[in-house]
Amino acid sequence: MSIPEKVDAFLEKSFPGKETNIYRDLSLNLKKILEDSPLEVNERFMNVAAIARALHWKELEIFAAIELKELGLEEAHIEECFEAAAIMGMLNTYYKFKGYLSPEVLADSAYQRAGLRMNSLSKAVNGKEKFEMMAFSVSVVNACPTCVSSHEKALTDIGVTREKIHDLARLAAVLKGLSCLS
């Protein structure tokens, strides 16, 4: 079965009989990104897995894991895709919190260090580029301006094209929208 056929089957199973204009827009957007993107196929589905976990969308997690296994990813690599949502959930929450504080409060020494362990960011099983992509897409879903900006910069600094970064943001946005229909 081809990727377009698999995406169609997933959508039909997840949204049986759904025929609204909004669903049509969202499903067509997802198909376009998953079928035709500057992102490599494994990058698409690694990010689908991370985003699915961030959205607590179990059926999408299963779909992504099956695709990643068929693409030859080992279990540890797939697990890191899901766990990327966990570490970024922590960081996105913390940095959004800091964004709510005034500059005067942030100047207090109590807020100078996050004090949160995040060594895993430098020891990514999938490599820095792939992990940064997942960190970016999850940060988009979690709406953390600081993290989105930071990971966008990290991606461009290591040579990821803006077209790929844009598709990661589009993928996150479309999946967030679809998750609201389930």
pLDDT digits (tens, 9 = 90+) for 78-119: 999 999 999 999 999 999 999 999 999 999 888 888 888 888
Distance CA 159, CA 141 (A): 23
If you average pLDDT over residues 149-169, what whole number do you get? 98
pLDDT averaged over every residue in the chain: 95
| Segment 143-152 mean pLDDT | 97
Query: Domain coordinates of the chain in residue numbers?
Result: 3-179
Residue 77: the pLDDT is: 98
Q: Name 9's Cβ contacts closer than 8 Å, sequence gap at least 6.
A: 1
* Residue 81: active-site member: no
pLDDT attached to residue 24: 97
pTM of the model: 0.95
Single out the catalytic residue among 50, 64, 85, 147.
Answer: 147
**DSSP state for residue 121 in the 8-state scheme:** G
Please pick, among 84, 85, 144, 178, the residue that the annotation labels catalytic.
144
Residue 36 backbone phi and psi in degrees, to 5: -145, 95
Please, which residues have CB within 8 angstroms of residue 86's CB and are 6 or more apart in sequence?
53
Give the CATH H-level superfamily of domain 3-179. AhpD-like (1.20.1290.10)
The pLDDT value recorded for residue 98 is 94
